[in-house]
């Protein structure tokens, strides 16, 4: 309030008994405040006319623009879907190799593949593809492959599935070897990764491995596995999926008891088939989804 100015009053006065007049000052609102206030009123009226605003007995006033939140969402979704379609059409028509040369397409394929992986593969292979020894689900993030790490190998694995057939060796489990022989084979298997504890057993196991038990026909002469190993100098069928026994990566576990259990009882890990024309019952994936999830797996770090 300005001090020097004559004080404006509304003219309304009360006289109190001691002679002090009580007057009502006129203290108007600041102009800026008043104009902003009018502006909000105008804004509100314009808004009511243009946009949905007031409830009515059978709904609400629609506004002359015809805008709705749902409509906007739909429009945005349609735009997103259009962009998606363009990408999906490209993904369908290009080969995986071609896709991997286009960084934007590659990103799109990987992010789609990641979702597909989470929905279908993570229960066995873990959320980020790290695998699990309980159940023998291989990790997909390293460069140690059972069936090969090229995009083509990975796609074939996913489409048609894989089945590891490690026979049981102990007599009691339907094999043809005694407990002593299985122990010797275990010592030899451990020696391949430098962890044997009984040299005499290793020598006996070595003979069985390359002889009567012919483990080398699947795992290779030096235990390198069916993918990179050789049997009697010859390449091994890549679709056998016999793991490398000479490295630190194990499907079921590296401790002697687990290795012995693998040899005694055998193992039959199964990767389901996902192609729509495969005869497995259950969830299938179309070609585009298989392509995306293959590219995703290939991107996890171990792709070749
Ligand atoms: C029911 C469990 C299960 C599900 C679900 C599953 N897998 Fe597998 N997967 C396996 C097993 C077990 C193996 C190993 C097969 C073997 O031991 O011979 C495997 C192997 C693989 C391999 C080969 C790894 C290598 O070293 O060569 C790839 C790649 C793979 N799975 C990808 C996928 C993808 C992608 C999905 C989802 C579409 C999927 N898997 C879903 C169990 C599963
Ligand atoms: C017919 C081919 C074949 C023969 C023969 C074979 N294996 Fe295997 N072996 C496999 C396959 C395939 C697997 C993986 C099983 C799976 O995927 O579930 C495997 C798994 C193993 C494992 C588990 C490896 C891990 O990472 O956990 C050990 C240990 C093993 N074999 C040792 C042997 C020994 C020792 C012999 C000989 C006594 C032998 N295998 C004979 C195919 C074979």
* 272-287 residue pLDDT tens: 999 999 888 889 999 9
Return the structure tokens found at 122.
């993570």
Q: How far apart are the first and last CA of the chain?
A: 81
The stretch 287-298 carries a mean pLDDT of 95
Q: How far from chain centre, in Å, is Cα 83?
A: 22
Q: Which residues contact 97 (CB under 8 A, 6 or more apart)?
A: 151
Interval 210-223: pLDDT, tens: 999 999 999 999 99
Residue with tokens 């009691």: 172
- Which ligand has the shortest distance to the CA of 157? 1
Reported confidence tier of residue 5, pLDDT bands at 50, 70, 90: low
Percent of the chain with pLDDT over 90: 76
pLDDT score at 84? 87
Atom 29 (ligand 2) nearest CA = 259
- 132 φ/ψ angles, rounded to the nearest 5 degrees: -155, 130
Ligand 1 atom with the smallest distance to the CA of 121 is 37
Q: pLDDT at residue 303 above 60?
A: yes
Alpha-carbon distances, residue 35 vs 26, 27, 29, 42 (angstroms): 19, 16, 10, 10
Atom 32 (ligand 1) nearest CA = 158
Q: Which letter, b or e, does each residue of 177-191 get, where b requires 16 or more Cβ atoms within 10 Å of its Cβ?
A: beeebbbbbbbbbbb
Q: How far from chain centre, in Å, is Cα 268?
A: 26
Return the structure tokens found at 167.
């026979």
From 60, 121, 113, select the one nearest 271 (Cα to Cα).
Answer: 121
Ligand 2 atom with the smallest distance to the CA of 162 is 17
- Which ligand has the shortest distance to the CA of 258? 2
Pocket test for ligand 1, best of 109, 114, 118, 124 (most atoms within 8 A of CB): 124
pLDDT score at 15? 72
Q: pLDDT at residue 16 above 90?
A: no
Q: Counting beta carbons within 10 angstroms of the beta carbon of residue 159, is it exposed (0 to 12), middle (13 to 18) or buried (19 or more)?
A: middle
Reported confidence tier of residue 301, pLDDT bands at 50, 70, 90: confident
Ligand 1 centroid to 291 CA: how many Å? Answer: 15
Residue with tokens 């979702």: 115
Rounded to whole angstroms, the Cα distance separating 199 from 168 reads 24
pLDDT score at 2? 47
Q: pLDDT at residue 209 above 90?
A: yes
Residue with tokens 């689900």: 137
The stretch 203-214 carries a mean pLDDT of 98
Rounded to whole angstroms, the Cα distance separating 98 from 291 reads 12
Assess contact for 131 and 138: CB atoms under 8 A. yes
Assess contact for 178 and 171: CB atoms under 8 A. yes
Atom 28 (ligand 2) nearest CA = 262
Mean pLDDT in the chain? 92
Lowest mean pLDDT among 17-21, 187-191, 295-299: 17-21
Assess contact for 42 and 50: CB atoms under 8 A. no
Residues with CB under 6 A from ligand 1: 117, 120-121, 123-125, 136-138, 140, 145-147, 154, 157-158, 162-164, 241, 269-272, 274, 293, 297
Reported confidence tier of residue 304, pLDDT bands at 50, 70, 90: confident
pLDDT score at 1? 46
Rounded to whole angstroms, the Cα distance separating 247 from 249 reads 6
């Amino acid at each position: 309030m300005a001090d020097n100015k004559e004080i404006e009053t509304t003219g309304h006065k009360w006289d109190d008994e001691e002679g002090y007049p009580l007057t009502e000052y006129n203290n108007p609102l600041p102009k800026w405040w008043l104009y902003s206030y009018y502006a909000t009123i105008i804004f509100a009226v314009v808004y009511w006319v243009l946009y949905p605003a007031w409830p009515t007995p059978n709904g609400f006033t629609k506004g002359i623009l015809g805008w709705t939140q749902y409509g906007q969402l739909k429009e945005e979704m349609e735009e997103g879907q259009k962009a998606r379609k363009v990408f999906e059409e490209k993904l369908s028509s290009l080969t995986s190799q071609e896709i991997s040369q286009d960084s934007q397409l590659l990103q799109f394929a990987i992010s789609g593949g990641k979702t597909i992986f989470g929905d279908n593969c993570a229960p066995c292979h873990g959320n980020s593809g790290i695998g699990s020894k309980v159940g023998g689900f291989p990790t997909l993030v390293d460069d140690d492959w059972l069936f090969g790490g090229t995009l083509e190998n990975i796609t074939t694995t996913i489409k048609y599935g894989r089945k590891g057939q490690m026979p049981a060796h102990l007599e009691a489990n339907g094999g043809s070897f005694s407990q002593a022989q299985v122990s010797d084979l275990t010592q030899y298997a451990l020696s391949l990764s430098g962890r044997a504890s009984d040299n005499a057993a290793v020598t006996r196991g070595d003979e069985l491995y390359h002889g009567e038990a012919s483990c080398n026909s699947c795992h290779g002469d030096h235990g390198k596995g069916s993918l990179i190993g050789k049997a009697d100098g010859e390449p091994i069928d890549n679709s056998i999926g016999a793991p490398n026994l000479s490295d630190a990566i194990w499907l079921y576990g590296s401790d002697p008891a687990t290795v012995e259990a693998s040899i005694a009882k055998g193992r039959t890990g199964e990767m389901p088939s996902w192609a729509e024309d495969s005869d497995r019952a259950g969830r299938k994936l179309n070609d585009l989804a298989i392509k995306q999830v293959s590219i995703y797996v290939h991107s996890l770090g171990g792709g070749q």
